[in-house]
């Protein structure tokens, strides 16, 4: 991990308000694990002041570039959306703990809602590379936000199920509506792992549905943070083992150990 000035390669909208930025960062790419994040300054300014934590969306290790997927929701992400190719970008990372990719399991179930897709392409690439059979349940607000297909991954590795809130693609509704039936179809639940990321209501639903099935579920969590490395203690999360920090102890944690308020 380190702090470095990288170079923006490209930065384009992939759907309304949703941007994909590609950054030349060979040092980060050489050590990053799926699920880790980077902490990005939006410019050489004091306003907005803080860095923005962004999951690593995908890595092209051959070219030493990483992709960051973000939705423009405030001044910081608006500043990021204004970055042009060749602009410098101050990137701290890779930070945090990633997903468990290696291990003796066959099936990988990936459940992503909204911006929860952000860390998943890197994860799916690695799961396919290690010969896992991957099922992705991807929920989005609109069909336009489902901006990649199974053809964008290594052949034969990925089965994709989608859900949209506007009902224009896949299941009309939430992605968690699909989860129970997908689990029924899972041929060998004893050799499966699940990975999830999304808004808290979705994570709560996933936690309920996955409860008691014996399938390990890792969630990439999100919380407001300042430092990104476990110093400010801002990003606390309640777990069965007490409070932990999303940036340092996560962002990937065992979903079944997260304690949500009722």
Chain positions contacting other proteins, by CB under 8 A: 1-3, 41, 46-51, 76, 92, 223-237, 242-243
Q: Shortest CA distance to 22 belongs to which of 49, 54, 75, 59?
A: 59
The owner of tokens 């792992």 is 193
- Decide whether 15 or 50 has the Cβ nearer to other proteins: 50
Helix, strand and coil percent figures for the chain, each rounded to 5? 25, 35, 40
- Decide whether 46 or 240 has the Cβ nearer to other proteins: 46
Note whether 67 and 22 are within 8 A (CB).
yes
- Decide whether 149 or 241 has the Cβ nearer to other proteins: 241
- Decide whether 51 or 132 has the Cβ nearer to other proteins: 51
Give whole-number Cα distances, 92 to 22, 25, 113, 132, 146, in Å: 15, 11, 26, 31, 28
CB neighbour class for 189 (10 Å; exposed up to 12, middle 13-18, buried from 19): middle
- Decide whether 42 or 176 has the Cβ nearer to other proteins: 42
State the nearest-atom distance from the C-beta of 153 to other proteins, in Å.
Answer: 34
Record the tokens describing residue 74, joined without a space: 């405030």
State the nearest-atom distance from the C-beta of 98 to other proteins, in Å.
Answer: 18
State the nearest-atom distance from the C-beta of 183 to other proteins, in Å.
Answer: 31
State the nearest-atom distance from the C-beta of 163 to other proteins, in Å.
Answer: 25
State the nearest-atom distance from the C-beta of 3 to other proteins, in Å.
Answer: 6
Taking each helix axis from N to C end, the angle separating 200-210 and 176-185, rounded to the nearest 10 degrees, works out to: 30
**Cis previous bond, 251, omega within 30:** yes
State the nearest-atom distance from the C-beta of 44 to other proteins, in Å.
Answer: 10
- Decide whether 148 or 226 has the Cβ nearer to other proteins: 226
Quickly list H helices, the chain: 26-31, 75-81, 120-129, 176-185, 200-210, 246-249
């Amino acid at each position: 991990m380190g702090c470095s000035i990288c170079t923006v390669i490209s930065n384009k909208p992939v759907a309304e308000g949703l941007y994909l930025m590609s950054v030349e960062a060979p040092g980060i790419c050489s050590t990053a694990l799926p699920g880790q994040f980077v902490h990005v300054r939006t410019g050489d300014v004091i306003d907005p002041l803080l860095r923005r934590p962004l999951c690593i969306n995908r890595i092209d290790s051959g070219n030493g570039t990483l992709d960051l997927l973000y939705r423009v929701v405030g001044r910081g992400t608006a500043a990021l959306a204004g970055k042009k190719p060749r602009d410098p970008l101050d990137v701290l990372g890779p930070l945090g703990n990633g997903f468990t990719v290696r291990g003796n399991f066959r099936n990988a179930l990936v459940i992503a809602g909204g911006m929860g897709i952000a860390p998943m392409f890197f994860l799916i690439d690695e799961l396919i590379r290690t010969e896992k059979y991957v099922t992705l349940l991807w929920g989005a607000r609109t069909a336009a936000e489902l901006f990649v297909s199974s053809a964008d991954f290594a052949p034969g590795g990925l089965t994709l199920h989608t859900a949209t809130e506007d009902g224009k693609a896949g299941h009309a509704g939430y992605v968690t509506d699909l989860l129970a039936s997908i689990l029924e179809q899972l041929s060998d639940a004893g050799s499966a792992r699940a990975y999830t990321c999304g808004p808290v209501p979705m994570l709560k639903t996933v936690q309920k549905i996955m409860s008691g099935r014996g399938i390990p579920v890792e969630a990439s969590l999100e919380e407001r943070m300042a430092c990104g490395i476990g110093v400010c203690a801002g990003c606390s999360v309640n777990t069965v083992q007490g409070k932990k920090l999303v940036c340092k102890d996560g962002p990937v944690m065992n979903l079944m150990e997260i304690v949500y308020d009722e």
